[in-house]
Structures are given as structure tokens and as C-alpha cells.
A and B are shown apart, each in its own frame.
Chain A
């Protein structure tokens, strides 16, 4: 699986947009970008995923650069409950395997009042 690089930690003011970057310069054509988050001592929670187009759902937006070498997860109005570790993962969803998720260190996002 391709490797991702994320900042170790970030702060964000409550109510403001949180922009979490991720570099995945060795991503291959059939690998998707997935974002998960893990609130303290809970299981990771799926946020969003994409291949090359920008994606939006009720939780967040995902912006993927045209060359697919980096992406940004956007939480439009961060709340204190968004404080968590955010993981950016590239994953092969080819039909011949289970497309296992391999987690890195992630970014610890601290949302402050």
C-alpha cells in the first residue's frame, strides 16, 4: 500500500473550518483515499473516501489534487466533539483482495473553545 504523510498535530478554533492535509505521492491508479477518525479509546469511524473527484457528505469534504498526490479533509464547522486522531489511508479496492486498511500515526486534531 502507498504510504501517507500527515502532520502530527493541529489546532482549530471551534466553529471554524478544520483543514487536514495528507500527502500520498506514491499513490497508484487503483488506490482510493480514505479518511477515518478515532475519538479517544473508541474504534475508528469512517468519514469519507474518494478516488479523484472531490467528495462531500454530511460529515466532511474531501479535496484531492489533480495529480492525486495529496488531499485535504475539510470539517466545515469544527466542534469540540471533532477532537480526535484523523487517519488518511490509501487503499486498493481491487476485486481480488479485501483491500485491507493499514493505519499510520494520523493527525491529532484539537478543537479549542
Chain B
């Protein structure tokens, strides 16, 4: 365990379903991130939250809706996804600014398959 927990580990959903991915950290970090990793492609940064405020949305389609209710929890709400959205979704956390931290701590990811 890295200190960042993602659930579920695996998810299969139909294109008309609504589901949510959950990320939880108890590292005292105040910034959280969603990344997408498709097969044979680099990680793509989707969303950035700093102090529970969304500070970046990298042109992600509206069928992905993030939510950060507090500094320890991050959700990714999914609806009407497409098969090409099948990927590994990774959550990470970090200290917002400064310090001599070791960068980001990643969770183990949720493997999403859209059928």
C-alpha cells in the first residue's frame, strides 16, 4: 500500500451506466490528481485539485466529472462512456507547494473496461 487507496480495482460498465471511482489518501497531502493511462500510451493528466479546488481540467470530456469533497477524498464520476475510455485510471496526491517532498504518491489504479 502506498497510502493512496483506489476503489474499485477493476470495473466493467456498459455505455449507458453511471459509476464512480474513489480515491482516498491519509498522507496529509493537499493536492490530488486524476490520470488516465490507455494501452501503450503515456499517462495523461486529466484533473488537478489543490486545496479542494479544481485548478486544471485538461480538455477532458464532460462524461468524466470529478469531485473533491475534502482534501482526503477524490471521486471520478462516469456516465455514458465510450469503449475508447477503457483504460487504467490512476489517482495521485502531493503536497501543494514547496517542501522537499518526493513528488507524487500514486494509487494502484482502477482498470476500467467499457462494453
Contact = CB atoms under 8 A, between A and B. Distances in A.
Interface of A: 34, 36, 41-46, 49, 91, 93, 95-106
Interface residues of B, number: 28
A38 to B, nearest CB: 8
Chain B interface secondary structure, helix, strand, loop or mixed?
strand
A49 B102 CA distance: 7
B104 A101 contact: yes
B105 to A, nearest CB: 7
B61 interface: no
Nearest to B90: A43
A101 B103 contact: yes
A57 to B, nearest CB: 9
Contacts of B59: none
Contact of B45 (A42, A91, A100): A100
